[in-house]
Structure 1
Amino acid sequence: MTIAQAQNSGVADAAQVLLNTIRRPVIMVDPDGFISFANADAEDFFRSSAAMLARNTLSKLIPFGSPLLTLVDQVRERRAPVNEYRVDVSSPRLGIEKMVDLYVAPVPEFPGSVVVMFQERSMADKIDRQMTHRGAARSVTGLAAMLAHEIKNPLSGIRGAAQLLEQSASDEDRALTRLITDETDRIVALVDRMEVFSDERPIDRYPVNIHVVLDHVKAIARNGFANKIKIFEDYDPSLPPVYANRDQLIQVFLNLVKNAAEAVGSDPLGEIVLSTAFRPGIRMSVPGTQERVSLPLEFCVHDNGPGVSEDILPILFDPFITTKPNGSGLGLALVAKIVGEHGGIVECETTPRGTTFRVLMPAWKELPTDPGADSEGNRP
């Protein structure tokens, strides 16, 4: 079946409509380098109609020496998809500043053809934001240590004095002494939560089945704060174990699912989707070294609530940022801290139709040089 025959078929018409609904530029490059297909967003991206694009090779539309040309050749040769992040395709035709993420994959139905999807938001920017979240969490670490010493001790004295006053106070004044006691207890509880940030002990990590963790979190949610919300699963059963601490992962996803439940609220159509997937090609640099860590495991918590305000999105993982009347703003900051200490990143994507929290984590790899570990990497 040739490309021309496919384009004349009803299936191709349906595919054209479907691809035009994707809000990302998508093109198909034939074996000779010509653009044989472009969706509506690709026409906007290249500032040309699909008919005009079909008369040009990809090399004429992007800067000379662009990594995209090399990626297309690699994918065509290896017949395997590739992700590449923060690729500069700036040119007078596309605009002075054009930085994109790329997904390049072969098209088995058309040998030699390659599909390219552009995304004008780079993973590098997400990682930069993640570094900021970690810095904010470290700031809370110092603050928590100070609060524990400078605030909790005086609060104990205030609470004790209030209890002594309560014994000889009138009924009207006793209500005030109880208010003092309750408020000091609330402040102590807040300081106790912040002390989690000052825990700098090394994490005990081992291979963990993420689906067991998510099932545990789902069971807690269904029997508590999300007992009236539908929770769905979209798991990839072939995922390798994640290299992590099970208890801390439970804490991460419990916070994310609780946030999702609060976003959905009492909406009878509200739902939460827990999903897992393998995303090869996502790598990040480790600061201070030449090492690049692979983050192929993707775990998502999606809700169909009203979404997060654009104003708060850039600082969502900072401490004390919350939209809840009685919230402390430490839940997502703790999520960022734990995920960062595991070598992963966490990001949030939101629209008026819902919010997705995406956690990218490293997979566990057996270390054959460890003579004390068993076949699964566990030590006695």
Structure 2
Amino acid sequence: MSLQVLPGFDELVAAMPVAMLVVDPGGRIVLANAASEALLNFSERAMTGQDIDAFVRFDQGFADRRKGRTFAAYDVEIGLGRIGRVRADLVECDIPERPGWTIVTLRTTPGGRAPDRRASARAAIGAAAMLAHEIKNPLSGIRGAAQLLGDGGGASTLTSLITTEVDRIAALIDRMQDFTDTRPLRLEGRNVYPLLDHVREVARAGFARDVPIDERFDPSLPPALVDADALTQVLLNLVKNAAEALDGVEDRRILLATAYRHGMAASAAPGLPRLPLPIEISVIDSGPGAPADIADDLFEPFVSGKAEGRGLGLPLVAKLVRDMGGIVTYAREGEPRRTVFRVLLQRAKT
């Protein structure tokens, strides 16, 4: 069905880089552009004539959204197409001279909400607590060992203890220094699949040896603009995080997936320009996900849902991905619900 509000209207909708749906007065989809096909994972043919509520699913509180002339919701959780519940921006407005007809635009919010002051305060408090715990304990052991040495205790055992505890402090400081490294990464076009193979083999040989690791790869994925070492570290951290999240879960499973997202663009950090980020690498697990009270702050330093966690792994992942010009996101999606970490990267120029 064609909707010729103005000459070339269909072509204009089709060319828009954001997901757009044109909806008739009965709530049925009339037009769907390529960006909406990519976002919702349905073809225009499959969506045309269907009720929009089958593809854009709001909570009950938004049921009356069509009563006003224009409806807008930003950074809200909605169900989209086949991908499940995500956070997104939505604007629904009337089409002039077509009473009851609307245009719906959709944009996922991969970066989530901007960190607020509570997140910063939590990070500062967490830093103090973590440093007090991690450094005070080994220093106490070193002090005790030194006292025993002074009393003529077993030198070999005590010097070994001192060495071990000093090494623990040094390792912690090294990890902290990762966040202050401002040297630019060496970005180049790389096929990500050899890196994924390496990460999978490392995981199978060590921390995920008893967890099935499946694949769902796009065979036509072009080279990504990455630093190979940084991306390997990112993926290892995410797979290790996924394996640890499956502790005590009956159906333990990790999925590595890739996809090419046409029209996906975002800013890696506030103040930076939006860049196309079509290369998607996902690490998906069947675990319970992060506690709800920290889900929005997972990429903040010293925020962790693990009893023994230091809250440094995911912030380092975010930093490395940001240094490659990309973004990393967390979501709970699908039925049954799964944890999804998505790394979105630039495509290498050819």
TM tier, smaller: 0.5 to 0.7
AA partner of residue 37 (structure 1): Q
Q: Which deviations, in whole Å up to 9, do the C-alpha atoms of 1:251-281 show, x marking residues without a partner?
A: 0000000011011125453110000000011
Runs ≥4 residues deviating over 3 A: 39-47, 60-66, 128-132, 154-166, 168-185, 285-289
Partner of 2:200: 218
* Alignment of 1:228 onto 2:210: yes
Partner of 1:358: 342
1:123 Cα deviation (Å)?
Answer: 2.8
AA partner of residue 327 (structure 1): G
Q: Show structure 1 runs of 5+ residues with no match.
A: 1-25, 48-59, 67-84, 92-98, 103-121, 367-380
Q: What's the secondary structure of 1:274's corresponding residue?
A: strand
Match of 2:306 among 324, 338, 346: 324
Q: Which has the larger radius of gyration?
A: 1
The correspondence of residues 1-380 of structure 1 with structure 2, limited to 5 A, is 27-29=28-30, 36-38=49-51, 41=54, 63=69, 86-89=89-92, 102=106, 122-124=107-109, 126-127=110-111, 129=113, 164-169=146-151, 182-265=164-247, 267=249, 269-285=251-267, 288=271, 291-350=273-332, 353-366=337-350
Question: Is the Cα–Cα contact under 8 Å of residues 138 and 165 in structure 2 kept in the other structure?
Answer: no
Question: Is the Cα–Cα contact under 8 Å of residues 162 and 177 in structure 1 kept in the other structure?
Answer: no
Question: Is the Cα–Cα contact under 8 Å of residues 162 and 180 in structure 1 kept in the other structure?
Answer: no
Q: 1:64 to 1:131 in 2, by over 3 A?
A: closer
1:127 Cα deviation (Å)?
Answer: 2.8
Question: Is the Cα–Cα contact under 8 Å of residues 187 and 225 in structure 2 kept in the other structure?
Answer: yes
1: distance between equivalents of 2:192 and 2:114?
22
AA partner of residue 259 (structure 1): N
1: distance between equivalents of 2:197 and 2:170?
32
1:203 Cα deviation (Å)?
Answer: 0.9
1:87 Cα deviation (Å)?
Answer: 4.3
1:359 Cα deviation (Å)?
Answer: 0.9
1:191 Cα deviation (Å)?
Answer: 1.2
Alignment RMSD (CA, Å): 4.4
* Structure-2-length-normalised TM-score: 0.63
1: distance between equivalents of 2:266 and 2:68?
26
More strand by proportion, 1 or 2?
A: 2
Question: Is the Cα–Cα contact under 8 Å of residues 159 and 181 in structure 1 kept in the other structure?
Answer: no
2: distance between equivalents of 1:43 and 1:86?
12
1:90 Cα deviation (Å)?
Answer: 6.3
Partner of 1:57: none
AA partner of residue 356 (structure 1): V
Q: What's the secondary structure of 2:111's corresponding residue?
A: helix
1: distance between equivalents of 2:165 and 2:219?
48
Question: Is the Cα–Cα contact under 8 Å of residues 348 and 357 in structure 1 kept in the other structure?
Answer: yes
1:196 Cα deviation (Å)?
Answer: 0.9
1:208 Cα deviation (Å)?
Answer: 1.2
Partner of 1:5: none
**Structure 1 stretch 176-185 or stretch 226-235: which is displaced more?**
176-185
Q: Which deviations, in whole Å up to 9, do the C-alpha atoms of 1:181-208 show, x marking residues without a partner?
A: 6544433321111111111011111111
Q: Which deviations, in whole Å up to 9, do the C-alpha atoms of 1:26-69 show, x marking residues without a partner?
A: 953179xxx8321655697699xxxxxxxxxxxx9884799xxx
2: distance between equivalents of 1:167 and 1:321?
39
AA partner of residue 364 (structure 1): A
Q: What's the secondary structure of 1:355's corresponding residue?
A: strand
AA partner of residue 277 (structure 2): L
Question: Is the Cα–Cα contact under 8 Å of residues 188 and 348 in structure 2 kept in the other structure?
Answer: yes
2: distance between equivalents of 1:187 and 1:156?
7
1:323 Cα deviation (Å)?
Answer: 2.2
Q: Which has the higher contact order (CA 8 A, sep 6+)?
A: 2
* Structure-1-length-normalised TM-score: 0.58
AA partner of residue 360 (structure 1): L
Q: Percent same amino acid at aligned positions?
A: 39
1: distance between equivalents of 2:255 and 2:186?
29
Q: What's the secondary structure of 1:88's corresponding residue?
A: strand
1:215 Cα deviation (Å)?
Answer: 0.6
AA partner of residue 28 (structure 1): I
AA partner of residue 307 (structure 1): G
AA partner of residue 38 (structure 1): D
1: distance between equivalents of 2:28 and 2:207?
45
